Amino acid sequence: LYFSAQGGILFLYHIKDLHYEMKICADILQPITNLIFSPDYTVLLLVTDQGAVYTYKPPHSEEAVKLLDACSGYFLAADFLTPGNKYCVSVATSGEVQVWVLEDGTCLSKLNLNMEVHVT
């Protein structure tokens, strides 16, 4: 079970039978608003309230890597494009929808909705 606290720390609760262990996986120093696993559960996207998107690769990684920084408004959400986990899509408060390469953060495509986007 992965979860985050207000301070931007990503935790793992490893639960087996009646025993559990809590481990700190990453600290990105920004509150995390969304956690999204790739379809094959090899990559975890972390979206922060500051508008950044990080990737974390459990259990092979000791830190989260910044993939994107909001350039036109804060990112509200991000998710994987399926099949696979090679690309992600994000939406910013400005109404800009973008498709990204997960490996290096290259923006492949943009679409402007011409309206502000809000979470309800």
What global pTM score does this model have?
0.73
First to last CA, the chain: 26
The pLDDT of residue 36 is above 80: yes
Q: Kindly state whether residue 119 falls inside one of the protein's structural domains.
A: no
CATH number, position 86: 2.130.10.10
Q: Kindly state whether residue 117 falls inside one of the protein's structural domains.
A: no
pLDDT at site 73: 60
Q: Kindly state whether residue 17 falls inside one of the protein's structural domains.
A: yes
Q: Kindly state whether residue 33 falls inside one of the protein's structural domains.
A: yes
Percent of the chain with pLDDT over 70: 94
Using CA atoms, how far apart are residues 86 and 82, in angstroms rounded to an integer? 8
Q: Kindly state whether residue 94 falls inside one of the protein's structural domains.
A: yes
Q: Kindly report the number of other CB atoms within 10 A of residue 25's CB atom.
A: 18
pLDDT at site 70: 62
Query: By residue range, what is the domain housing residue 25?
Result: 2-112
Q: Which residue has the tokens 């804060």?
A: 74
Task: State whether residue 42 is helix, strand or coil.
Answer: coil
Q: Kindly state whether residue 120 falls inside one of the protein's structural domains.
A: no
Positive or negative, the CA dihedral 72, 75, 76, 80 is positive
What's the domain count of the chain?
1
Model confidence pLDDT, tens digit, residues 52-104: 888 898 877 778 888 877 655 677 888 888 887 889 888 888 888 989 898 88
**Residues with Cβ within 8 Å of residue 114, at least 6 apart in sequence:** 95
The pLDDT of 13-42, averaged and rounded, is 88
